[in-house]
Each structure stands twice: as C-alpha cells, then as structure tokens.
Amino acid sequence: MLMTSAMVALQGIALSVAGTVLLASGFAWRILRCWDINSGSELQLRLERRTYLISTLLGFALGAELLSLLLFVHTAESLSSQFVGAMCATGVLNINGFGFPALLLKITVFFLAAVWLLLNRVDHQGRDYPLIRVKYGLLLLIAPLTVAELATQTGYLLGLEPEVITSCCGSLFSSESHGVAAELSSLPPKPALIGFYAAGMLILGVGLAFLRRIWLGPVFAASSLLLFGVAIAAIIAFLSLYVYENPNHHCPFCLLKAGYNYVGYALYPPLFAATAFGLGAGIIAPFHRIASLQTVIPNEVRRLTRLALAGFWLFYMLSTGLILQSGLILMG
Amino acid sequence: MPALLERQKYLIDYTLAALLRHKTRNLGLLLVYALLVFLFSSVLLLSQSLRREAATLLQDTPEVMVQRLVAGRHDLLPAAWLEPLRRIRGVSAVQGRLWGYYYDPAVKANYTLMVAPDRDLAANDILIGAALARIRQLSIGDILSLPTTTGKPLPLKVAGILDAASELLSADLMLLSETGYRTLFNPPPDTYTDAVLTVRNRREARTVAEKIALALPGSRPILRTEILRTYDAVFNWREGIVFITLGAVLLAFMILAWDKAAGLSAEEKREIGILKAIGWETGDILRMKLWEGALLSLTAFLAGYALAYWQVFYGGTRLFAPVLKGWAMLYPDFRLTPAVDLLHVLALLAVTVLPYIVATLIPIWRAATADPDAVMRG
C-alpha cells in the first residue's frame, strides 16, 4: 500500500462531501414529504430555512468535488514513477479495477452538482419555490453517487500495490487492444476530424436556435452532453497526436504534463464549464411555463446558453490552434 | 454581471469592517489557523524538496549497479565477474568499485570511504568531505591516522577538501587510493565491493538487468530507477504518516472553528438582527458569513504558507527535519532549492481550508436564519 499527503487529502474530501450530501439528503427527504408552500406552520417555516443550509452544503460539495477531481488526476499523474509500466495517470488509474470508475463518478457528481446549483439558483428567484421537488429529487440521486465515489476511491487507494505491473497509455490507447479507449484511438483521423467540427457546428446551430425557441431545451442539453463525449473522443483520437507530435500516443492525461506546457489545464476547464452550463440551461428551460418563473427562466437560459457557447467556442479555438501549430502531418 | 460584482464588493467591504470590529476574537482564530497551515505546509515543502534533491542527485549516477549476494547478504564481488558483465550487449562501460564504512570511535561517527581511481591520488593521500573536516578539525596537509584491520595505524595525508556545494553527497565522504583502501581494510585480492554499469540506451536498463540476473545467478542488479522509486515511496510514506498524526491537531482546530462560529456574542447576534430588520435577506447574511470565512482562510493560508516557505528554505528546517530527513552524526549541512508544486497547494487547501468550511457551515446557517426579533430581544 502506498500513502501520500494527497491521498490523505482525497479521502478527507470524499468523506466530507459524502457526509455533507448525506446530511443534506436527510433534510431533503423531510422537505419532499412535508413541503406545503401554502401552509404557515412552524414546520414549513423550519423547512424553508433548511433550504438555505442545503444549497450552501451543495455549493461546498461542488467546490470540493472540483478540487478532488483535479487532485485525483494530479495524484495519479505524480504516482506514475511508483509503478512498473506506468508512465502517466492512465497507467496508475489502471492498477486496479476501481481507478477509472472513481474518476467517472467524480465527473458525474461534478456535473450533477453543477446542474443542481443552477436549478437552485432559478428556484430561489421564483417566489414560491416552484422547483423544490425536482431539486430535492435530484439531490436524492446525487447522494448515493457520492457514497459510491467514496467507496470506489477507498478501494482504489487501498489497492495500489507497487508490485503490480500495469499497462500504460501506450497499450490502453492503442488500436491493437480492445475496449472503449482502444476503439476511440483507432478512429481514423480524417472522419474523426470532420465529426469533431460537425459536432461543433451542430452545437452552435442548436444553441442559436435554442436562444429563440426555448422548447429546444432538452435537445440543447443532449447536444452539450454529446459534444462533451465527442470532444473527449477527439482528444483521444487525434488532438493528443497533434500535441505530442507522435502518431501513436493517444493519452488524454499526458496533456496535463509539464512536458506539453500543461496544455490540458487550458483545454479541459472550458469544456467542463461549457458542458455544465449547457446541461443546466437545457434542463431548466422546460420549466418556463411555471407562473412564477415565466420571466426568470428565459433570461437565465439565455445567459447560460451564451456562457456554454462561449466555453465551447474557446475549446474549439484552442484545439484548432493546437492542430495548426503542431509539426505533425496526420493527413497528407 | 457588474451589479453582481458590485453587490459582492459591498458585502466584502462590510465583512472586513465587521472583522476589524471584533479584532481580538478573530485574531486568535487567525493565529491558530495560520499555525495549522504552517505545520502542514512545512511537512509538504520539506518532503517535496527532499524528493527533488534525491532525484537531481541520482540523475548522473550509472543506470545499473551489481552486487554479489551470498546467503542473501551482500558480499564482495570477484573481479572475474567484470568480464561477463562487459560482454552483455548494450553495456558501454563496467567499473568495479571499492568502498566501505569506517567507524571512528574518536567522534562516534561513520565515515564513507571510497576509492576514486579518476582522482590520481598518491598511496596515502585522501580527500575529505567538509563535515568530516569540520568535526576532526582537519585542513589540507594535516595527517589523519586510522587503525587498519591488523591494528597498525595508517597515516593518511589530507590532500584536499571536497567542495562544500556537494555536501549533501560528500559530508562524511573520504576519497582514497586503491592501495590505501586495501591496506586499511585488507580485503581479499581481486575483489570489489560492487560494480556499476553504464547502459548505452537508458530504456534498455531493465533488459540488461534481466540478462545479468540470468548470466550471474548469484548477483543482484539494482536499477537507478528502483532507487529513485524507493526514495519517492519512503518520503511519501513519511509525509503521509506525519499528515495523519497532524490529523489530531486538525480535529482540535475544527472544534475550535465550530465553537467560534456557533458561539456568537450578544453583540454579533444583535448586528445580524438589525441587518435583517433593515432588509437584508437570509441569503445575504449567509454570503456575508461565507465571505468572512473565505477572507480569514485566505489570510491564514497565505501567512502560514509564506512562513513555512521561509522556514524550510531559509530558516534551517528545524521543524520535522529529523522525521523526514533521517539523521546521522556527520549530517550534511545543505540548503534546499525553493520550489512550489501545484499538487501540494491543492492538497494543502484540501486538508486545511476544507475542514474549516465543513466545521463552520452549520453554525453559519444557524446564525443567518435566526429571526430578527428573537435575536434582538435576546
């Protein structure tokens, strides 16, 4: 077993996030059962006050989750010297079966918490808390995920055996092996490149249409999620090749290394933020018929959509810049 | 957006004024908070720079080291082994090394003795490390007499003192000639302590090691990367252990922060009551209190981190050094290269600021949701 300060910190974060979210979902359960906006009872008043606590707790959880996501990838990266065969985060995450599930859970919890906070923001602007049941229903969905995250992360960190010979990005992200990563790596560059820019045009089109027709919300949310997937696939399929200037190196984590000017830290944040905004905008939009939110939601949705489009635009600009300034010629 | 920023600006403004109104109360918490950050960041900065130092030092060492094992213990390596090692494809140079330790009862310390063929030392000449020169009060030209294994004293002349810049490596080092070494320790002829190999292609080091293990079954090849890995693991482990022991301090701090946030003075309660009565919403009070925590955390974090930085890189690393560095009689006196690592700042934020926020969230919410009339009355 290995132990570093970052692992202690990661476990601390996971424990406190799971703890606060469980605490919040305990309150959420009561709210779901007893909430009655028309009642003036003492219980209702107490519940209304609790809503402030829950949104503060969730805000904290989101911030902590973001920190934990960064720390997790960074820790995996820094431990790569400890394992035979590992050269970056991929190898270290592959040491046992819990590494990638833990990472995926972290990303999922991050997006769900972001959507929750956006819902909460809109809900607070409506005078009668119209989204309260939707919000707390979602919270009850997030809670088990944070517990699962704590469990997988604990399993992962406890199972870090330095004797294990792992396989690194070279073998996971290679066209000869099997699995999702290998499938993505073996995508031919030209169609992948076309697909990448087509997806960009799609989100732009859907986004612009959505700014005028609010009923397109679910389509925009789905497109944002789709674009997130396409972007990750593009990073694995060809963007990484251009950055590393190597036709066989497909790793999405090596982008975070000093050797490549930490370019990943410029590339991932706009993508994650834009996806979160896009998801939020799309999920909020269908509630625009609620009387108390009729003016709030269209404004909020427009703002979020613009932010999402700006984020995606930044991501595409950065990617295009990386492709253009690269010395690699992938398509002759 | 500007309206939102404006609002936050006024909130910060109010919060700062409120913090300054209760100076002594907040100063106490701030001091304890900064001390906590200081303790954690000292450990991190120190172990991180020790790791870095080890990596830099090992950068120029040979890729593979070969020892001979007899009954699981390190034994002298016969000179006849050098030839088969040289014949392994990919090996560009092989050198037998002679080295050992010498316990000097006069200063109750161990010296590291090593034969330096490239220094062209005369039979009785030695070069010594700076710490050794200090402790035995030797300078160039002095004679150091050491008893040999036969009991006869061997006079050795100090021909030079090793550069103080290399003290981390050479503090207790004594370089001598092969003749001097063999007279002092009297090892069997045609034997070496171990052998070092230079490998043309660094990436082949592991394959070369496998070939050595096959060709010479009684040998133990050690890779440079393995040594580095061990150093990493050891420092990581020590750092983690210190972190866990500091956990008790963290818990005490969380209780203090909770207590401080929960136990509002009558005056503070009245303030909140008045703010609500003049139209502040619960959300505003909550935001104001969160800003208070954020400002306090930021100040404490910066102060604690800066203090730790100074302590580790310029103040002599008194704290935690014995736990993290290890110790010896002839300990090198060295200065660490200053460096800040993002990962460590993140980890530090997670172990100091996050617990503070967790501890204060519920008390803050309690204070913010109190009824104005209730708090003003009572």
Q: Are residues B321 and B297 in the same domain?
A: yes
Q: What is the mean pLDDT of residues A124-153?
A: 90
Q: Are residues B154 and B172 in the same domain?
A: yes
Of all residues in chain B, the one with the smallest CA distance to A8 is: B240
Q: Higher-confidence residue: B164 or A97?
A: A97
B233: nearest CB among A2, A12, A68: A2
Q: Higher-confidence residue: A300 or B164?
A: A300
Confidence at A174, pLDDT banded by 50, 70, 90: low
Q: Higher-confidence residue: A179 or B111?
A: B111
**Listed residues B171, B195, B224: the one ending a domain:** B224
Portion of chain B with pLDDT greater than 70, in percent:
93
Residue A4 sits at φ, ψ, to 5 deg, of -135, 165
CB–CB contact B354 A12 (8 Å)? yes
Q: What is the mean pLDDT of residues B110-139?
A: 87
CB–CB contact A56 B290 (8 Å)? yes
pLDDT at residue A273 above 90?
yes
Portion of chain A with pLDDT greater than 90, in percent:
35
| 3-state secondary structure (DSSP) of residue A166 | coil
Q: What is the mean pLDDT of residues B151-179?
A: 84
Q: What is the mean pLDDT of residues A81-85?
A: 74
- List the single best residue of B40, B280, B290, B346 to mutate versus A (max A Cβ within 10 A): B346
CB–CB contact A3 B283 (8 Å)? no
| Cα distances (Å, whole numbers) of residue A132 to A113, A217, A280, B133, B282 | 15, 20, 16, 77, 18
Q: In what order do the strands lie in the sheet with B143-147?
A: B99-104, B109-115, B173-176, B125-128, B153-161, B143-147
Q: What is the DSSP string of B10-46?
A: HHHHHHHHHHHHTHHHHHHHHHHHHHHHHHHHHHHHH
Interface TM-score (ipTM) > 0.90? no
A283-292, B78-87, B211-220, B228-237: which has the minimum mean pLDDT?
A: B228-237
pLDDT at B332: 62
**Which residues of A sit within 8 Å Cβ distance of B?**
2-10, 12-13, 16, 19-20, 49, 52-53, 56-57, 60, 64, 67-68, 70-71, 74-75, 78, 81-82, 124, 162
Confidence at A55, pLDDT banded by 50, 70, 90: confident
pLDDT at A281: 93
Residues 6+ apart with CB under 8 A from B8: B287, B291
pLDDT at residue A167 above 70?
no
The tally of domains found in chain B comes to 2
Q: Are residues B130 and B218 in the same domain?
A: yes
| CA of B180 vs chain A CAs: smallest distance (Å) | 40
pLDDT digits (tens, 9 = 90+) for A204-255: 999 999 988 888 889 999 999 999 999 998 888 888 888 888 877 778 888 8
Confidence at B163, pLDDT banded by 50, 70, 90: confident
Q: Are residues B314 and B372 in the same domain?
A: yes
pLDDT at residue B1 above 70?
no
**Listed residues B177, B195, B224: the one ending a domain:** B224
Q: Are residues B75 and B207 in the same domain?
A: yes
Q: Are residues B216 and B69 in the same domain?
A: yes
| 3-state secondary structure (DSSP) of residue B76 | coil
pLDDT at B363: 86
Portion of chain A with pLDDT greater than 70, in percent:
92
pLDDT digits (tens, 9 = 90+) for B146-155: 888 888 889 9
Q: What is the mean pLDDT of residues A92-117?
A: 89
- Rounded-to-10 torsion of CA A209, A210, A216, A218: 130
Q: What is the CB-side half-sphere exposure of residue A271 using CA atoms within 13 A? A: 23
Confidence at B334, pLDDT banded by 50, 70, 90: low
CB–CB contact A56 B233 (8 Å)? no
pLDDT at A180: 63
CB–CB contact A60 B358 (8 Å)? yes
The residue type found at B120 is: D
| 3-state secondary structure (DSSP) of residue A247 | coil
Residues of B in contact with A8 (CB under 8 A): 240, 243-244, 247, 347, 351
Residues of A in contact with B233 (CB under 8 A): 2, 82, 162
pLDDT at residue A175 above 70?
no
What gap in Å lies between CA A311 and CA B44, rounded to an integer? 35
Mean pLDDT, chain A, integer: 86
pLDDT at residue B331 above 70?
no
Judge whether A116 and A280 are in contact, CB under 8 Å. no
Mean pLDDT, chain B, integer: 85
Q: Are residues B167 and B85 in the same domain?
A: yes
pLDDT digits (tens, 9 = 90+) for B9-42: 888 898 888 888 888 888 988 999 999 999 999 8
Judge whether A82 and B232 are in contact, CB under 8 Å. yes
Residues of A in contact with B237 (CB under 8 A): 2-4
Judge whether A243 and A263 are in contact, CB under 8 Å. yes
pLDDT at residue B265 above 80?
no
Residues of A in contact with B225 (CB under 8 A): 81
Of all residues in chain B, the one with the smallest CA distance to A49 is: B369
Q: Are residues B68 and B206 in the same domain?
A: yes
pLDDT at A166: 61
Tokens (6 digits) for A326 = 């690269």
CB–CB contact A6 B346 (8 Å)? yes
Q: What is the mean pLDDT of residues B127-132?
A: 86
Confidence at B262, pLDDT banded by 50, 70, 90: confident
CB–CB contact B350 A7 (8 Å)? no
Q: What is the DSSP string of B157-171?
A: EEEEE--GGGHHHHT
pLDDT at A160: 83
pLDDT at A225: 93
| Cα distances (Å, whole numbers) of residue B51 to B45, B325, B337 | 10, 10, 11
**Listed residues B224, B250, B284: the one ending a domain:** B224
Q: Are residues B175 and B299 in the same domain?
A: no
Tokens (6 digits) for B348 = 């530090």
pLDDT at A278: 95
What's B136's domain CATH number? 2.40.40.20
Q: Are residues B360 and B284 in the same domain?
A: yes
Q: Are residues B235 and B368 in the same domain?
A: yes
pLDDT at residue B295 above 60?
yes
| 3-state secondary structure (DSSP) of residue A297 | helix
pLDDT at residue A170 above 60?
no
What gap in Å lies between CA A172 and CA B235, rounded to an integer? 30
pLDDT digits (tens, 9 = 90+) for B181-206: 999 999 998 999 999 999 888 888 88
Domain with B95, as residue range(s), is 64-224
What gap in Å lies between CA B108 and CA B33, rounded to an integer? 43
Q: Are residues B99 and B119 in the same domain?
A: yes
